[in-house]
Chain A
Amino acid sequence: MRIGTARSSYRHDESLFDSRTQHAWLAVLAVALLGFPFFADEYWLYLACLVAINIASTTGLNILTGYTGLVSLGQAAFMGIGAYTVAALEQKLGTPVLLNLLAGGFVAMLGGLVVGLPSLRVKGLYLAIATIAASVVLHFVFANWHSVTGGHSGITVAPAEILGLSFDTSFRLYWLFVPITVLMVLGAANLFRTRIGRAFIAIRDRDISAEVLGIPLLRYKLLSFGLSSFYAGVAGGMWAYFFRVVTPESFPLIMSIFFLAAVIVGGMGTILGAILGAVFMTMVPEALKLIVGWLPLSADATLILSPVRTIVFGALIVGFLVFEPLGLQEIWRRIRRFFHLWPFRA
C-alpha cells in the first residue's frame, strides 16, 4: 500500500514513474502488450490496432483541448490530412512507411497551424465553431482536389512495406502501431514535465494571466495546435495503412465528436485519461454488441443495435459531463486510493 513516495532528488521528483510499484506494473504492461498478439485472434488484433490509432489521436486532442483549453472539433479533419498525405505519397512516390507517417504528421501540423492562427482573436466556443468550419473546408478539398486526393472515390493504399516485409495482417500492423503509439504517449507525458507543457496549462487556466507572466500567447497556442495536429496526422497515417482506403467520407464531423467525447469521458488534461477514454469509447460498441446478443430479445435484435449505440454514445457524453466531469481517470484514481488506504480504514 503506497501512500506517498519520499523523493530524494529533483530528478526523482520530475520522473514520470517514480516508485518501484509503478515500475513493476509497467513491466507487467509491457509483457502483456508483447504477449497479447500471440494469444489473440484476428478480431481482437483488429480491435487492438484500432485502439492504438484512437489512443494516438485522443492524446493529441488532449494536448490541445485538455491541457491548453482550446476546444477543437477538427481532429478528424487533421487525421484526414495525415491519411491523404500518406496515401498520396504511398501511391505516387512509394516512399518508405515511416517517412510517410512523419510526412503525414508534418502536413497535418501545417494545417493545424493555419487553423490555429485565428486563435488569438477567436476564443472558447467561437474557436470550436471555427474548427467546425475548418472541417467543412477540408472535406471540400478532399472531395474536389481530384489530382491529389482522387476526389470522391478516394485513394486505395497498398499494405505498408518495411524492408520487404508486408504489413497486411492485423497481427503485423500491431507491431507497427503499438510502438508508435507508446512513443507518442510517452512523448506527450514528457511534454508536460517541460516548460512548454506548463505554459499550455497556464494558458488553459487563465490566458491573460499567462500573458502577463511572459508567455507569448500566439506562439504557444500555435504550438499546441501544431502538436495536436501532428499527432492527428500520424494517427491518420496509421489509419490509412490499416483500412487501406481513404475517402472524403472517412473523416466526418461525427468522428471529431467521437474524439472529443473520448477526451471528456477519459478525463481532460491527463495522459491516463486520454488512454482510458480512447479504449473505453472504442470498446463500448463491442460491449453493446455482446450485451444485445445475450439479452433474450427477438431474433433480429441486431436491428436496434445501431440506434442504441448512438443513444449510449450521447448519453455517455451527457452523463460524464453532468456526473463525473473529471472523467474515467478520476474513477480509476478513486479505486486506486481505495486499495491504497484499505488496510487502514477504520
Chain B
Amino acid sequence: MEFDGLFLAEIVLAGLGAGGLYALTGLAFVMIYKATRVVNLAIGEMLMIGAYLCFGLATAMNLPMWLAILVAVIGSGMAGALLERVAIRPMLGESPISVFMVTVGLASVLVGVVELIWTSEPRRLPEFMPSAPVMIGEAFVPPKVFYGFLVAAVLIAVALAVFRFWRGGVALRATASDQQAAYSMGINVPKVFSLSWTVAAMIAAIAGVIVGAVGGISSTMGVFGLSVLVVVIVGGLDSVLGALVAGLLIGVVESLAGGFLGGEYKLLATFMILIAVLLVRPYGLFGTHEIERL
C-alpha cells in the first residue's frame, strides 16, 4: 500500500490514545503489586465493576453523569478494600501462585455478579464527553480517545509524584520491599494494603468508565486485563513509569498491527512482544531485578 503519512499519523495517535488507557489500568495493577506483591489478574474485572456501577447509577437511579462517576469511583474503592480484606489478606504468606489463582477466582466471581444484576447483554454508557472532533494538524483523533488519554496522563503524573514525594507513597514502597522492616518502622502494614487496593480499584474504575464510554460495557470487558498484563510485564511489575511507557508502546504497536496487517493480528502482536520480553528481559524495561535467595 502506498505510504500514506496521514493514515500513519492517525493510527499512531489512535494507538497512543488506547495506550493511555492501558497505562492507566497498568497503574492500578502496579499499585497493587508495589504494595502487596500480588499479581492481580482481576484488574480487568475491577475496571468492569467501575463501569457497571457508573452505568447502574446513571440509568437506574438517574443520577447526572458527573455524580454517577464520582459515586462509582468511591464505590469501586470500597469494593476493592472489601476484596482485599476477604480474599487477599487471608492469603498473606502463601505462595504467589496461590494468590494469583485467588485473583483468577475473584475475576470469575465479579463477572458472575455483573451478569446476575445486569445480564450479559452489552450496554452503552450515556454520553458525557465533549463530542466535537479533535484535529491535530490534519489528523483526526476520536474525541473520546483524546480526552481519555488526557485523564490517564494527568492521573499517571499525579501517581508518579505521589510515590516519589508523599509519605504514604514511601510507606507503600517500604511495605513492598520488606514487610517486617516496615512493621518495625511503625508503618501500619494492613492499612497500607487496604489503601493500595482501594486506590487501585478507584483508578481502575476511572479507566473502566473511559473504556466503557469508548467501546460500550459488557460482562466480557475483563479481557482488557490480559492486554494490561502484557503492559505491566513489559514495563516491569513494580514500576509506574514502566506502566506508562509500556502502555503507550503496546497501544501503538497494537494499532499499527491492526491498521497495516489486519484486525486479527492485534492480540498476536501484543503477545509476541510479551514472549520476546519474557525471554530477553523478564523483569521488564523498568522493573527491579529480583534476586532469588535460597
Contacts and interface: CB of A to CB of B under 8 A. Distances in A.
Nearest to B108: A314
A140 B233 contact: no
A136 interface: yes
A310 interface: yes
B126 interface: no
B226 interface: yes
Contacts of B120: 306-307
Interface in A103-147: 118, 121-126, 128-130, 132-133, 136-137, 140, 143-144
A311 interface: yes
Interface in B218-237: 226, 229-230, 233
B106 A124 contact: no
Given A309-B112, A311-B112, A317-B108, A140 B94 contact: no
A318 B106 contact: yes
Interface residues of A, number: 41
Interface stretch (B73-81, B151-159, B175-183, B267-275): B267-275
A304 B112 CA distance: 10
Contacts, number: 121
B105 A316 contact: yes
A308 interface: yes
Given A71-B97, A311-B109, A311-B112, A137 B102 contact: no
A121 B267 contact: no
B39 A125 contact: yes
A250 B254 CA distance: 25
Given A136-B267, A311-B109, A314-B108, A128 B100 contact: yes
B278 A122 contact: yes
B266 to A, nearest CB: 10
Contact of B106 (A71, A307, A314): A314
B282 A132 contact: no
B280 to A, nearest CB: 9
Interface string B98-116: 1011101111111111111
A36 interface: no
A315 B83 CA distance: 12
A208 interface: yes
Interface in A300-339: 304, 306-318, 321-322, 325
A118 B277 CA distance: 12
Nearest to B265: A140
Contact of B226 (A132, A137, A312): A132
Interface centre among B226, B275, B294 (most CB of A within 10 A): B275
A316 to B, nearest CB: 7
Contact of A313 (B101, B108, B115): B108
Nearest to B267: A136
Contacts of B279: 118, 121-122
A144 B267 CA distance: 13
A325 B98 contact: yes
Given A136-B271, A321-B91, A314 B264 contact: no
B271 A314 contact: no
A310 B115 contact: yes
A313 B107 CA distance: 10
A117 B174 CA distance: 36
B122 interface: no
A264 interface: yes
B278 A126 contact: yes
Contact of B233 (A118, A129, A260): A129
B6 interface: no
Contact of B109 (A208, A260, A314): A314
Nearest to B97: A71
Contacts of B110: 314
Interface string B238-264: 000000000000000000000000001
B97 A137 contact: no
A218 interface: no
A130 B280 CA distance: 13
A271 to B, nearest CB: 21
Contacts of B274: 129-130, 133
A322 B91 contact: yes
A257 B121 CA distance: 23
Contacts of A130: 274-275, 278
B264 A129 contact: no
A132 B115 contact: no
A308 B117 CA distance: 11
Q: Report, nearest first, the 7 A-B pairs whose CB atoms are least far apart.
A: A314-B108, A317-B105, A311-B112, A310-B112, A314-B109, A307-B115, A318-B105
Interface of B: 39, 87, 90-91, 94, 96-98, 100-102, 104-116, 120, 226, 229-230, 233, 264, 267-268, 271-272, 274-275, 278-279, 282, 292, 294
14 contacts: A122-B278, A124-B96, A130-B278, A133-B230, A133-B278, A136-B271, A253-B226, A261-B105, A304-B116, A307-B112, A317-B104, A318-B102, A318-B106, A321-B98
